C-alpha cells in the first residue's frame, strides 16, 4: 500500500503533498515532504510532514513518526548550514491547547536569534519535588 493511500482529501497538507496546492518545497522523499512556511515567524521557518495523514502525534504510527523525525533532522542541518542561526527550535503541537492549526502531524524548524523575541521559552522556577515524583509514577503507569 502506498503512502498516497493514507492521504485525506480535505487536508491542506495532503493537498500540498499531492501538488493540488502550490508550496515552496525544500525536499521530498518517499515518505516525507519538507516545505517553507508561508506565514514564517522567522526567515527559514519550514515544516516537515509525513506522507501519511493522521491528526496528531498520538494517532501517527511509530514508523511514520520515525521517518518524520529523520527528515526533521535533515532539514534542521540544512537550515543550520544555510543561515547559521544562533539556534534552531523544533516545534510540534498536538491539540487546541498547544495551538495546533492543521490537523496533520507536522514539525516546524525555526531558526532562532539570541534576541528574536519569539515566545517559546519560560522562566526556570523550581517545582514541588514531591508532586513531581508522584506525577512521574502516574505517567510511568500509562507507558505502553
106 catalytic? Reply is yes
DSSP string covering 43-107, please?
Answer: TT-EEEEESS--SSGGGS-HHHHHHHHHHHHHHHHHHHHHH--SEEEEE---SGGGT--SSS--E
Residue whose cell numbers read 522562566: 123
Q: Which of 45, 104, 106, 108 is catalytic?
A: 106
Cα(72)–Cα(75) distance, integer angstroms: 5
Q: Which of the residues are catalytic?
A: 106
Amino acid at each position: 500500500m502506498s503512502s498516497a493511500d493514507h492521504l485525506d482529501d480535505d487536508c491542506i497538507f495532503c493537498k500540498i503533498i499531492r501538488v493540488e496546492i502550490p508550496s515552496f518545497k525544500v525536499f521530498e522523499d518517499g515518505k516525507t515532504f519538507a516545505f517553507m512556511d508561508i506565514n514564517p515567524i522567522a526567515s527559514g521557518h519550514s515544516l516537515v510532514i509525513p506522507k501519511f495523514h493522521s491528526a496528531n502525534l498520538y494517532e501517527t504510527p511509530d514508523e511514520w513518526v520515525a521517518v518524520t523525525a529523520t527528515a526533521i533532522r535533515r532539514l534542521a542541518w540544512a537550515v543550520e548550514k544555510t543561515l547559521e542561526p544562533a539556534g534552531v527550535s523544533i516545534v510540534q503541537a498536538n491539540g487546541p491547547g498547544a495551538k495546533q492549526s492543521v490537523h496533520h502531524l507536522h514539525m516546524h524548524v525555526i531558526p532562532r536569534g539570541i534576541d528574536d523575541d519569539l515566545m517559546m521559552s519560560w522562566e526556570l522556577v523550581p517545582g514541588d519535588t514531591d508532586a513531581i515524583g508522584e506525577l512521574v509514577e502516574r505517567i510511568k503507569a500509562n507507558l505502553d
